[in-house]
Amino acid sequence: MFQINKRPIVVLSAPRTGSTALTAYIRKTCNDNTIQAFYEPDAVGGRINEFLEVYNKNKNFIVKTHLMNIERYSPEISNFFTTSDSVFRIRIQRKDLIKQIVSYYIAVSRGNKWHYRHANELDIVDTLGIDQNMLQAHVKHIVRSNKILKESQINFDLDLFYEDLPKMDNLSFYVNPKPTNYQEILDAVSKIVSQSSIIP
């Protein structure tokens, strides 16, 4: 699906853009079985020490991280991610801002970091409260994250959108089930976005 001809591979994203599934797909379809994948090792509870070992040893890895969090890495690593000619850089964005924000709201409300779940984690039936203050904060957060990613002057080798990704079979990942009041949340976010002055 993708012609990737360099190592390491760095996937730069904003929240809820499908970067986890994309990274897993690249890892699964890669001919090199020794390559390691890291999903936001900079995050709390992430595999930062394991990542640093691989980074310092051979740089044979795929790492995905949100561009807005690039400063969590040392200046050497963040500079390597964003400027080195040896890095294959992928930017993944999302076209549907409303659904991106709603996805983030659902994840935070459920205390679930990931956009995708495994097959044995799909029995969720819930109705989420609609917290207007939280929704407004999420709108600002996602808009800011998207702006940083969209306006980046980084030289990307591949530019992708979540909505254009092909079906990625055999990943053992499934999109989170929607809450019973998904449409209400969607409507609430749409109203905030339509009234917001921060939307470009």
Task: Specify if 68 maps to a domain.
Answer: yes
What residues make up the domain containing 154? 9-195
Residue 106 lies in a domain: yes
| Number of structural domains found in the chain | 1
Name the 3-class secondary structure at 181. coil
The pLDDT value recorded for residue 140 is: 94
d(CA 31, CA 107) in angstroms, rounded, equals 33
Residue 172 has pLDDT above 70, yes or no: no
**Is residue 13 over pLDDT 70?**
yes
Q: Report CA-CA distances (Å) from 195 to 135, 159, 161.
A: 13, 30, 26
| For range 163-183, the mean pLDDT | 78
pTM of the model: 0.89
CB 161 within 8 A of CB 102: no
Report yes or no on 89 lying in a domain: yes
pLDDT tens by residue, 69-115: 999 999 999 999 999 999 999 999 999 999 999 999 998 888 765 55
Share the mean pLDDT of the chain: 89
Task: Give the model's confidence band at 16: pLDDT under 50 very low, under 70 low, under 90 confident, else very high.
Answer: very high
State how far the Cα of 148 lies from the Cα of 68, in Å rounded to an integer: 6
pLDDT of amino acid 198:
67
Q: Do the domain assignments include residue 200?
A: no
Query: What is the 8-class DSSP label of residue 10?
Result: E
Q: What is the CATH number of the domain that holds 173?
A: 3.40.50
198 φ, ψ to 5°? Answer: -95, -5
pLDDT at residue 128 greater than cutoff 60: yes
Q: What is the per-residue pLDDT for 6? A: 92
